[in-house]
Structure 1
Amino acid sequence: MSDATKKKTGKGELRETIVIIVQALLIALVFRTFAFEPFSIPTASMQSNLMIGDYILASKYSYGYSRYSLPYSEVPWNGRILGNSPERGDVVVFRPVPQSENYVKRVIGLPGDTVQMIDGVLQLNGEPVERERIGTGIDRDSTGVNLPIIEYRETLPSGVSYTIQEISDNAQFDNTSVYTVPPGHYFMMGDNRDRSLDSRSLMSVGYVPFENLVGKAQWRFFSITDNIPPWQVWRWPGNIRFDRMFTSVYE
């Protein structure tokens, strides 16, 4: 084979490699934009369902698409296409109106609902939500502070059931006034009730517009203790939580 032929062959292989890489990047971009997007859990607000150091996949198609569910939320586009309303009990990634970062919380109030907390017990539309004590434990937040907690099984009127945590029943948001969820908005709360900044704080989170939903949390695909960066592979031994990997958020 002549030198000229070798050069042509080499250029052809390089061009083919570049095309494959570009195609792979485009596929990954399309997948992230329209199918699933990964998110990390940096705070304790959804423990013990979502632990600090969990990595989840949120489905973009579950609620349709808006500028908040696309890579660039600065796009001047209002509304939502192919929109499907979330159900009470869904765990949702969303962008609070006053904030610039995404939050992950559970849908508690639907448009038109009234929501209130009385002595730590959730009230929906004037009725207390079933809450069964199931145990005690220790909760560790993102700053390393450990506090004793009580665990409850909370069951919504629809039958959706999940574990919540309470440090006490007289913390800041354990007794509130009545919230009335506006049309087209949702009321979000964390499962770790006394360590969650959520819709109970109208100034910080408040009612979440349907347009601001990013996706529905579906799967945990990776989990490591103490918010250790995943790229620090030398710290994986003894820190990866294998029992949480590849599990449903709703188990």
Structure 2
Amino acid sequence: MMDSRPVGVFDSGIGGLTVLKVLAERFPQESFLYLGDTARLPYGSKSALTIRRYSEQNVHYLLRQGVKAVVIACNSASSQFPEGEFEGVPVYNVIHPGSFKALNLTKNKKIGILGTRATVKSAAYAQELIRLDEGVEVFSQACPLFVPLAEEGWDDDPITNLVTYRYVNPIVKTGIDTLILGCTHYPILKEAIRKVTGNSIELVDSGEAIAELIAQDIERGHFKPVKEDATQNIHIMTTDASEHFNNLARRILEPVRAEQFSVVDI
């Protein structure tokens, strides 16, 4: 069975575009609606109750646009939105697939998590990792400056390198062999993070983990794809106008191309 409706993806800002890019490349016939809640970012410094309220508003908006599934491309939102289905529509969040992939990669069962304050405080990753494997050791580090650095587009800057070393070096010293990038903004800073971790530590990217889960669901019949000859269409929506966002979005998505940018009121 086929379903030609688009897939909805949302994040507080630009970080979720790292997930969208992976999904668009992995499923080149699928169309996507991306919602960046730029008027209310960042989510990581908000209370759990506020993050949940914002997330429900975003999901409801995407459902009104007629999406067939929702991807919560925001770790802070995912930590407060554990449901696998909402009003009859499948929902994918980053916590479970990221944890599952990390456990498949680790050899010494020492896993690190970089996240926003809200994600780290929720302990969502730690709880999911331990639920999947009680023998795992989890080390978490909040990185509140990573989101503004990514939103500013400072992925290759001396200041970013200094901040990254300050956050990442202590968690590397714990002996981890796998590190979850527990915010979808963080893959934008992957090169700076890799400078600190070296090549001996596996980095887990949320977008890749979600893409693998959706591919499995297609095989199981839980996710209905479009026809193989369908043409992909990508529409980027934000809750606040920003030419900086649009320019940075094009750079992050490259070579994937978004056909439309618009500002919406959710």
Rg bigger for which structure?
1
Normalised TM-score (structure 1): 0.28
Higher RCO (C-alpha 8 Å, min separation 6): 2
- Identify, as 1 or 2, the structure richer in strand: 1
- Identify, as 1 or 2, the structure richer in helix: 2
Normalised TM-score (structure 2): 0.27
